[in-house]
Copies of this chain bind each other. A is one copy, B any other.
Amino acid sequence: MTKVFNNPVDFKEQMIKGFTAAYSRYVERIPNAAGVMVKGGPTPGKVSVLIGGGSGHYPLFCGLVGKGFAHGAVIGDIFTSPSGEQCYRCGKALDGGAGVVFSYGNYSGDVMNFGMAEMRLEMEGIDVRQVLVTDDVASSADFDSRRGVAGDFFVFKVLGASAWRGDNLDTVEAMGRHANAMTRSFGVAFGGCTIPGQPQPLFTVAQDKMELGLGIHGEPGVETSDLRSASEIAGLLVDKVLSDVPAGAGSKAVVLVNGLGATKYEEMFVMYGDIHKRLAAAGIDLYKPVVGELATSLNMEGCGLTLMWLDSDLQALLDYPTETPAWTNV
């Protein structure tokens, strides 16, 4: 249940104000837009990466803006795509003269609005590319139709690093597409979340049940099952992700166990022990695992597993140093 808010109508704006006040050492507000950008704005002559989507998923999206990572984020209302106008304004503000890559999870509202912004910017002579994240194996058998979930983190990280090290627009786009092609996620949920000011949760899961493959906005899962043990959930997540190993995958993969909000770290560590063993037994060389909250859905109860299979290109970009409000690596 979301408990801390003022007027729900102003929730997003107040959130952006609080966020930029707290993290002015990393980010600044994009003037006249619902978005934030790296302090100092785009670098002349370099590609910028604009990420975005609805809010309610922190650290997605604004928490990943900063040196080495995304150059900016456009911010929609809770679980709602930012408008085409806002995507346009943020994209325009981020152009440093070398083009802009838009990247976001594959949801129809986002596709439409970022698409409109791309058209307007192209008409103004700004070269825009789009890299959609489609990591959720539960959402479709067709790769390009899948929605984006926690894999966003890895795709954005690769895109940001490629741009910050000075790659040109074609290369940044290609690296991002390659990262997405190598990324797979599967998640489960144990309970819903409540949008600020709403009396009822967006959806509910019975106390002794779990939803398999549920989306991060409460989209229906692929199956309702009895609640299982941590070990059984670990087995399920590993099986689902490994049921669709990308073509061309090597043996090394970066691993994320992601909490959606109210499934906490200790529970995820208990589950991670089994995940680690199962992935290692499947011949995967686990690189820098992370157990934490990198893509949330307010206080939804649930968690997921994400793997990005690595080659030397992706590993170098993953390791590129970053400093952002929610993620710093050296």
Contact = CB atoms under 8 A, between A and B. Distances in A.
Contact of A21 (B264, B272, B298): B272
Nearest to A7: B229
Interface string A172-191: 00000000000000000011
A296 interface: yes
Contacts of A273: 14, 17-18, 21
B230 A5 contact: yes
A267 B321 CA distance: 29
Contacts of A17: 273
Contacts of A271: 4, 18
Contacts of A2: 264, 267
A3 B269 contact: no
Interface residues of A, number: 67
Given A18-B291, A289-B23, A1 B207 contact: yes
Given A3-B227, A21-B276, A263-B299, 17 more contacts: A1-B301, A2-B264, A6-B229, A6-B270, A14-B230, A21-B272, A22-B257, A22-B269, A25-B288, A56-B266, A58-B265, A58-B269, A78-B266, A196-B267, A264-B299, A293-B293, A330-B330
Interface of A: 1-6, 11, 14-19, 21-23, 25, 55-56, 58-59, 63, 78, 190-191, 196, 207, 210, 227, 229-231, 233, 257, 261-274, 276-277, 288-293, 296, 298-299, 301, 303, 321, 323, 326, 328-330
